[in-house]
Structure 1
Amino acid sequence: MRKILPILLILIGIGGGIGAGLLLRPDPAAKAALPECAPVEIARDDHDGHDTPDLPEYIKLNNQFVIPIVDHDRVASMVVLSISLEANPGKREEVFSREPKLRDIFLQVLFDHANVGGFRGTFTTAGNMGTLRGALLDAAQGVMGHDVTDVLITDIARQDV
């Protein structure tokens, strides 16, 4: 009986896996009914004669942002985050030339977010992070116009003091 039980369990497991695979297999008719994906818009690169997709440029800001969380008139914790910008192609130099203004406006948004309790509790929820990203994007577009298309929070950490 000791030797038969492991073999029986293996066979039941294999049979259950095959049965689940057959039962959950996608319907071939439904797969055929899926629409085709839209083609990527291609821009002509005159320098080398090759086609290149018109993709956004990702620009990582040089230094991290450090935001103190004040509770009862003392620093209770620190939030450190890194930000990258999604911008139209060719805007890297313009972003870096305006980085001091961008950092200033981002710090103001981050301090305001901290002061309303945005970094307390479970601060990384989708709604909370979406609100923060939206405020940072509005601030970036106030400085750069619509050349900045998104703000990416690439790293975030909170350290309680």
Structure 2
Amino acid sequence: MNKKIIPLMLPVVAIVGGAFAGNMLRAPSDGAAEVAPAHAAGDHAEPSDDGHAADGHETESHAEPADDGHGDVEHAAPGEAAWFTFPTQFFVPLMRQGDLQDMMILTLTLQTDGASLGALGRKEHVLRDSLLRQLMIHANTGGFDGNFTADRNLAVLREDLLKAAQAVTDLPIEAVLIEDIARQPG
């Protein structure tokens, strides 16, 4: 009788054990997740009896601006240079006679000032559309043929991308930085 029950109970025990282990490894609930960022954002140890923080830091709270889910936004004071990095890369197909030959992959960053950084993040989709349109024009006119990493070729690409970005927004965009550029065979 025991020999018949053991093979039936083994999968049940494995499922229960797997569910328990999965529950233990699961991300903490929302309440626990809010505790960690509060400490990381600059809330330091409570002051001790002598008025100094127990960990040697000031007790001043440094509030971080909320992340709105748009790109990597470097936080800068108004008037200082700041950079907006698009959260995903740009993929530009290189077509020849109707066939996909290669794919260009680029990571772009926009240079602006600290006061315009948040507004620039809110215009991410319009900027991305304009830049991708310009990248496709560049690809279709042979801009990625040959030695596309030559300095003069990249200068032309940066200038065209800057004009495209400035055309869709009145925010100050000072430069388009090409952080990564690669050609992947199709």
TM-score bracket, shorter-length normalisation: 0.5 to 0.7
Residue 129 of structure 2 is matched in structure 1 by 104
- 2:150 maps to 1:125: yes
Q: State the secondary structure of the residue aligned to 1:147.
A: coil
Greater mean deviation of Cα atoms: 96-105 or 53-62? 53-62
The total of aligned residue pairs comes to 110
Q: State the secondary structure of the residue aligned to 1:77.
A: strand
Please report how far the alpha carbon of residue 54 of structure 1 lies from its aligned counterpart in structure 2 after TM superposition: 4.5
Write the distance in 2 (CA, Å) between the matches of 1:78 and 1:103. 17
Q: TM-score, normalised by structure 1?
A: 0.65
**Which of 119, 132, 137 is equivalent to 2:162?**
137
**Which of 176, 183, 186 is equivalent to 1:151?**
176
Alignment-mate amino acid for residue 150 of structure 2: T
Residue 62 of structure 2 is matched in structure 1 by none
Write the distance in 2 (CA, Å) between the matches of 1:53 and 1:111. 34
Aligned partners of 2:92 and 2:136 also within 8 Å? yes
Q: State the secondary structure of the residue aligned to 1:131.
A: helix
Q: Which runs of 5+ in 2 are unaligned?
A: 1-76
* Higher RCO, Cα 8 Å, sep 6+: 1
Residue 84 of structure 2 is matched in structure 1 by 59
Q: Which runs of 5+ in 1 are unaligned?
A: 1-51
Alignment-mate amino acid for residue 102 of structure 2: S
Please report how far the alpha carbon of residue 156 of structure 1 lies from its aligned counterpart in structure 2 after TM superposition: 0.4
Please report how far the alpha carbon of residue 62 of structure 1 lies from its aligned counterpart in structure 2 after TM superposition: 1.1
Higher strand share: 1
**Which of 90, 111, 120 is equivalent to 1:95?**
120
Write the distance in 2 (CA, Å) between the matches of 1:143 and 1:53. 22
Residue 73 of structure 1 is matched in structure 2 by 98
Q: State the secondary structure of the residue aligned to 1:117.
A: coil
Write the distance in 2 (CA, Å) between the matches of 1:126 and 1:144. 27
Alignment-mate amino acid for residue 76 of structure 1: Q
Please report how far the alpha carbon of residue 121 of structure 1 lies from its aligned counterpart in structure 2 after TM superposition: 1.1
Residue 82 of structure 1 is matched in structure 2 by 107
Write the distance in 2 (CA, Å) between the matches of 1:67 and 1:132. 13
Q: State the secondary structure of the residue aligned to 1:82.
A: strand
